[in-house]
Structures are given as C-alpha cells and as structure tokens.
Structure 1
Amino acid sequence: MARDDPVRSQTASSEDDHLPNLVTIVGRGVPAAFEIAVNGEIEMVSHDPLEDATVVSKHAAEGTIDVGVRRFRFSGQMANVNLVDWNGVPAPESPSTPTVHVEYGVPER
C-alpha cells in the first residue's frame, strides 16, 4: 500500500516530529461537512487536497466527506471540531455526521 504524502502548510518544517498528532475524519456514507481547528499547525495527509475538496490553513481545515477518511497531522492541541450532516444538523444530534478520532504522539510511518 502506498504511503500518502502530507501536504505541507506554508510554515511547516521538515522535522519528523513537527506534527506529532493525528486526527482522522471518517465518513458514514452520507454527505457531511467538517471544520477542525488546532492551537498549533495542521496539514492534510493526502495526495491531492483539491481532489478531496479540503481547505487547509495554518491552524484549521474544512471540507466535505461522505465515504472514506480524511487525515490530518497537527501540533499542539485540538481546539475545535464542528460536524454537520447534509441537512446542516450538527453532531451529536445527527447519526449521519462523520466520526472523529484524535491521537496524540503518533509517529509518522
């Protein structure tokens, strides 16, 4: 299996431990939107973030998902997560919103 190449933010460093944490957004088969923010830096782990329709800035990422996963590496702490389903109903009221997994101190593979 090929390893995804991270898409570096403009301020990202080349150090391996620069972004030690991982957040994974998992789609549930229904179109949904997500916004995540961190108090450090964030970058998407993807071959093509434009194909994934995801916008990544220095401290935040937002996009859509229906199936599959979106992964991001980040430094610092998770500051905010906002998830809504295709009707705009937020989590946890909607069972169709994506799930979010946050892991701290995950080495890059």
Structure 2
Amino acid sequence: MARDVPVRSQHAQTDDDPLPNLVTIVGRGVPSKFEIAVDGELEMVGDDPLAQATVVTRQVAEGTIDVGVQRFRFSGEMANVRLVDWNGVAAPDSPSTPTVHVDYNVPDR
C-alpha cells in the first residue's frame, strides 16, 4: 500500500517516537464496524491491513472486527471514534460493539 507524505501533528513529538500514542480495538464476538480518526498520523500495528480488511489512510482507519484485537499507533489526539454492530446500532446503544482503549505516550516496544 503506497503511503502519502505523513502529516505531523503540532503536538510535541520526538524523532525517536513519532507515533507515541496507541488505540486498541477489542472485538466482542459479534461482527462490527469501526472508524477511528486522529489529528496526526495513523499506522496499523503488526497486522497486514489488507488481510484484516482494514483501510488505513494518514489520519483515518476503518474496518470490521468480530473477535480479537486491532491496534494502531498515532500522533496527535484522537479526533473521532465510531462503532456500529452488525445491525448498524451505534455504541453505546449496542452492548455488542467493540471496546476501544486509547493510551497516550506509550513506548513502542
């Protein structure tokens, strides 16, 4: 997948850790859709976006999840999170939508 020139956030960053933040999406066993957006740069961790059917651009990731975990590193701040279950019912109205954890300044291991 070709990448555009990264857009860097205006927030403080170091050259050692250009994507210091982490968002984790955890499936609950029900097919669901997610979309996350940041005001900096976004990158999927570890997995192959094509194999996961996840679309990742500079600032947005969208895809599906039913079980397991998908992680993304990002710079800047979380701008938006949208989750819907297989019926199209959005969080928090559906107990089946994935959970999302956002952690700032997490060292890259």
Q: What's the counterpart of residue 85 of structure 1? A: 85
Cα deviation, residue 49, structure 1: 1.1
- Unmatched 5+ residue regions in structure 1? 1-6
Q: What's the counterpart of residue 3 of structure 1? A: none
* TM-score, scaled relative to structure 1: 0.87
How large is the RMSD of aligned CA atoms in angstroms? 1.8
Q: Which amino acid letter does the alignment assign opposite residue 41 of structure 2?
A: E
Q: Which amino acid letter does the alignment assign opposite residue 31 of structure 2?
A: P
Cα deviation, residue 63, structure 1: 0.2
* TM-score, scaled relative to structure 2: 0.87
SS at match of 1:34: strand
Matches within 5 A, 1:50-61: 50-61=50-61
Q: Within 1, Cα distance between the matches of 2:22 and 2:3?
A: 15
Q: Within 1, Cα distance between the matches of 2:2 and 2:76?
A: 16
Matches within 5 A, 1:35-50: 35-50=35-50
Cα deviation, residue 9, structure 1: 4.5
Cα deviation, residue 8, structure 1: 9.2
Q: Does the Cα contact within 8 Å between 1:8 and 1:43 map onto a contact in 2?
A: no
Q: What's the counterpart of residue 32 of structure 2? A: 32
Q: Which amino acid letter does the alignment assign opposite residue 29 of structure 1?
A: G
Distance 1:104 1:73, change over 3 A: same
Deviating more after overlay: 90-99 vs 41-50: 41-50
Q: Does the Cα contact within 8 Å between 1:9 and 1:43 map onto a contact in 2?
A: no
